[in-house]
A and B are shown apart, each in its own frame.
Chain A
């Protein structure tokens, strides 16, 4: 049985590191893994995703509609944008901090209200202000690892030493920060 994890956010939020750590954990757990990334034009402040699929044998590298077991949304509007890719029984892990797009910044359109409430009503939602939590830890960039912590709890992979994986992947001076971030996310 293939499982699918969809990371959705905005260019520059650290989605790539979060998915890289996830794939490292999945490989260590002995799964076949595939992952898809977005490059080029879309990265310039646009909506970006990485897609991870794992199981005994994975075929398609991309996630279809109604196919994601977990949608890790780094931003509320991105959760809505990719909601159609979530399984009816799937879970959304949401960071509630907003990033307005150009038409919202310019004041032409309002940021949509009530996203969190809508999601709470319609899906299995785990929401947190990962951005604010990361700032509290001393670096807003750690939000990706906070969300990864929450995902790790949801996935419940056996025998995975996440902290060791983080140590392998991040620069030594950021290890303590990310370790704390992971733990904070895991406890949500």
Chain B
């Protein structure tokens, strides 16, 4: 029976069918559901969340060295983190097949930048495989492991947001059992010392030549000859956009193996048509390889190099055609940007932190990135995972040489802290910068859809595991001033910030501990936290319309301009109590206490 699967679901199934036994990842949109969908095959497969992408890839390298087929999956910026092992993995090669899945995010639906990770394939001198959707997954994954083991190389498997999160009808395949390749000690292969890497270096160039030959015959590159005068060379989801526009009025060269490129196949394809377009999202990755071979094509002079492509964009730039549609009058439209949820434990922290003026707050990646949005507007910066703590250190150290003193705070989530905040904190301790470092511990990796992490006490398989204790951890690193607080209690937030700002002996840490309002609570959560708190309600007569509660930015609070009164939406309120505490007139109370 056919299944309607997302690219992520189909890739998960394909990994199972290809007898992959080891999978490691750090969650990141749009890649997260690959590992989540592998859990159903736990009888045959080891599946884990790693604390970051570098660890995930290194663990996969270990499994591969031991002879087991392995995979590491991550979003595009995760590959930046994993780039260190990746670049040398190209030298060591593999034992069991190894595939690195990169899920790029053209258009930045849920990312801090957009980058075309196919360039990593060229950079690391390894092959790149792309799919256009779920339907391609089984063959592409199967072939990727064949390539990896035949050519002794990792394979970069590139997906994009639309490929990951669009569904296509897929035929479920059969699993083909693959036994581990016996491990034989081979220091010349897996030890990357200068001498051995120099020895292996020519082999990488020779491997690229053999891969280029393979590219000419691989089943992943498919030509469709419709006897047309227009030719389209495309990869990824762009293939579907092109076919929507040209139908059978074009010949297609659909590339699933995009590095190194099948130059002769492209040349032969080009000779059969009068006009030839290269359609690809983001960088002119195919186009540059094609032009370098002296083949004339039309590409990025028309097709945008930025953002996501779609049929409308391509129809306009290639054919000069615009769709017919009606625009709504602007006065009927108001923006609806994402906001912190009702009962989000981050809200109370940001609401209080905002009151400390003249403070630089470096932020980080997670739901709490929204702490930079109105009405909270606390954070000054967001760069990458872990940067909050290191940047706060840099702000202090940089200004101190000029005799400028500033109050400096770093804000980072629990999962992000373990991803790459720990080493940053070590730097602040080692180099003695009195920054205030706040770990917003909401007991889960929330933004990506609630994944367990080393601080939650559970792993991806749902097993109870050793929980990393943040307070013990930072004390062990050498932090002396550590305060663990409930962020729903605004008074304790205020006092903790004050106390830490006054502390000048070195960096301090505030841990705000309260579970995400959307989390599926564990037994331990129920024991530790009062999660059945009564909802809040405004006593109309007492409300003076000061709007203080509105400034918490809670979506359950509404302000009536005419009556100058606030109200709480009974359905969405989860009873966190932050609005009650924010009210200077005690006009908001627990429901049932009026």
Q: Which residues of A contact B (CB under 8 A)?
A: 10, 23, 27, 32-47, 59-62, 64-67, 77-78, 80-81, 83-88, 100-107, 109-112, 114-115, 118, 122-123, 140
Asked whether, in the complex, the Cβ of B326 is within 8 Å of the Cβ of A59, the reply is no
22 residue pairs of the A-B complex, CB under 8 angstroms, read A36-B166, A36-B167, A39-B449, A40-B109, A42-B110, A45-B338, A45-B555, A46-B336, A61-B162, A61-B237, A65-B325, A81-B336, A84-B325, A88-B326, A101-B336, A102-B336, A102-B337, A104-B334, A106-B547, A106-B559, A107-B547, A112-B332
Out of A32, A78, A84, A109, name the residue touching B326 (CB < 8 Å).
Answer: A84
Chain A residues near B375: list those with CB within 8 A. Answer: 102, 106
CB pair B447–A34 under 8 Å, yes or no, is no
- In the complex, besides A27-B2, A36-B166, A106-B553, 9 extra interface pairs with C-beta distance below 8 angstroms are A34-B167, A44-B341, A45-B341, A59-B241, A64-B311, A86-B325, A101-B336, A106-B559, A122-B326
Which residue of A has the minimal Cβ distance to B550? A106
B165 beta carbon closer than 8 Å to chain A? yes
Residue B202 CB within 8 A of the other chain: no
What's the nearest-Cβ distance from chain A to residue B89, in Å?
A: 28
Q: Which chain B residues in 127-170 approach chain A with CB under 8 Å?
A: 133, 162, 165-169
Question: What chain A residues lie within 8 Å of B338 (beta carbons)?
Answer: 41-46
Residue B575 CB within 8 A of the other chain:
no
CB contact under 8 A between A46 and B337, given known A27-B169, A105-B557, A107-B559: yes
CB-CB under 8 A from A101, the residues of chain B are 334-337
> Given A45-B339, A61-B168 in contact, is the A81-B333 Cβ separation under 8 Å?
yes
Any A CB within 8 A of the CB of B505:
no
Q: Is the CB of B29 within 8 A of A44?
A: no
B133 touches A33 (CB 8 A): no
Closest A-B pairs by Cβ, 3 of them: A40-B110, A66-B325, A40-B29
Are A40's CB and B325's CB within 8 A? no
Please name the residue on chain A nearest to B33 by beta carbon. A39
B residues 502-554 near A (Cβ < 8 Å) are: 547, 550, 553
* Residues of the A chain whose Cβ atoms lie less than 8 Å from the Cβ of B561: 107, 110
Does B447 lie within 8 Å of A40, measured CB to CB? yes
B299-315 interface bits toward A, Cβ cutoff 8 Å, 1 = contact, 0 = none: 00000000000111000
On chain A, the residues within 8 Å of B550 by CB distance are 105-107
Contacts of B332 in A (CB 8 A): 77, 80, 112, 114-115, 118
Chain A contacts for B6, CB-based, 8 A: 37
B265 interface contact, C-beta 8 A: no
Q: A residues within 8 A CB of B334?
A: 77, 101, 103-104, 109, 111-112
Main secondary structure of the interface of A (DSSP, over half): mixed
Which residues on A sit within 8 Å (CB–CB) of B2? 27
A104–B30 alpha-carbon span in the complex (Å): 30
- Interface presence of B329 (CB below 8 A): yes
- A83's partner among B323, B327, B335 (CB-CB below 8 A) is B327
Which of A10, A39, A80, A109: most chain B CB closer than 10 A? A39
- Say yes or no: is B340 at the interface (Cβ < 8 Å to chain A): yes
Closest residue of B by beta carbon distance from A81: B333
Chain B 274-325 residues near chain A, CB threshold 8 A: 310-312, 323-325
Partner among B29, B133, B323, B571 whose Cβ is within 8 Å of the Cβ of A64:
B323
Does B374 lie at the interface of the complex (its beta carbon under 8 Å from any beta carbon of A)? Answer: yes
Given contacts A27-B4, A33-B169, A39-B30, contact A44 B339 (CB under 8 A): yes
B272 at the interface (CB under 8 A from A): no
Scoring B residues 542 to 586 as 1 if CB is less than 8 Å from chain A, else 0, what string do you get? Answer: 000001001001010111110000000001000000000000000
Q: Which residue of A lies closest to B5 (CB)?
A: A35
Interchain nearest-CB distance for B474 vs A (Å): 28
Give Cα A49 to B168, complex, Å: 17
Chain A nearest Cβ from B104, distance in angstroms: 14
How long is the Cα–Cα vector from A160 to B103 in the complex, in angstroms? Answer: 37
Contact residues in B for A81 (Cβ distance below 8 Å): 328, 333, 336
- On whether A105 and B4 interact (CB within 8 A), knowing A39-B449, A86-B325, the answer reads no
Q: B29 to A39, Cβ gap below 8 A? A: yes
B243 to chain A, nearest CB (A): 4
Contact A80 B333 (CB under 8 A): yes
Contacts of A118 in B (CB 8 A): 328-329, 332
Of A39, A64, A102, the contact of B110 (CB 8 Å cutoff): A39
A163 shortest CB reach to chain B, Å: 20
A10-B336, A33-B169 given; A84·B310 CB < 8 A: no
Q: Please give, as numbers and ranges, the residues of chain B lying within 8 Å of A45 by CB-CB distance.
A: 336, 338-341, 555
Cross-chain contact of A41 among B109, B324, B335 (Cβ < 8 A): B109
> With contacts A64-B311, A105-B558, A115-B332 known, is A39 near B165, CB below 8 A?
yes
Instruction: Give the CA-CA distance A87 to B324 in the complex, in Å.
Output: 8
Is B367 part of the contact surface with A, judged by Cβ < 8 Å?
yes
A39 to B167, CA, bound (A): 13
Q: Does B492 contact A (CB under 8 A)?
A: no
Query: In the assembled complex, how far is the CB of residue A104 from the closest CB belonging to chain B, in whole angstroms?
Result: 6
Judge whether A44 and B168 touch: CB under 8 Å. Answer: no
What is the chain A residue whose CB lies nearest that of B247?
Answer: A59
Considering the chains assembled together, what is the distance between the CA atoms of A23 and B2 in angstroms?
12
Nearest chain-A residue to B560 (Cβ)? A107
Contact of A23 among B167, B333, B336 (CB under 8 A): B167
Residues of B within 8 A of A61 (CB): 133, 162, 166-168, 237, 240
Give A47 to B557 CA distance when docked, in angstroms.
Answer: 19
* Contacting residues, chain A, for B333 (C-beta < 8 A): 77, 80-81, 112
In the complex, which residues of chain B have a beta carbon less than 8 angstroms from the beta carbon of A36?
162, 165-167
Chain A residues near B339 (CB-CB < 8 A): 44-46, 102
Contacts of A34 in B (CB 8 A): 133, 166-168
Given contacts A46-B338, A64-B311, contact A41 B162 (CB under 8 A): no
Q: Is there an interface contact between B162 and A62, defined as CB atoms closer than 8 Å?
A: yes
Residues of the B chain whose Cβ atoms lie less than 8 Å from the Cβ of A59: 240-241, 243-244
Q: Which residues in B have their C-beta under 8 angstroms from that of A87?
A: 325
B241 / chain A contacts, CB cutoff of 8 Å: 59-60
**A79's closest neighbor in chain B, by CB?**
B328
Judge if B448 is at the interface, Cβ distance under 8 Å. yes
| Contact partner, B327, options A41, A84, A103, A114, Cβ 8 Å | A84
User: What residues of A have a CB within 8 angstroms of the CB of B367 in the complex?
Assistant: 44
Would you call B4 and A35 a contact (CB within 8 A)?
Answer: yes
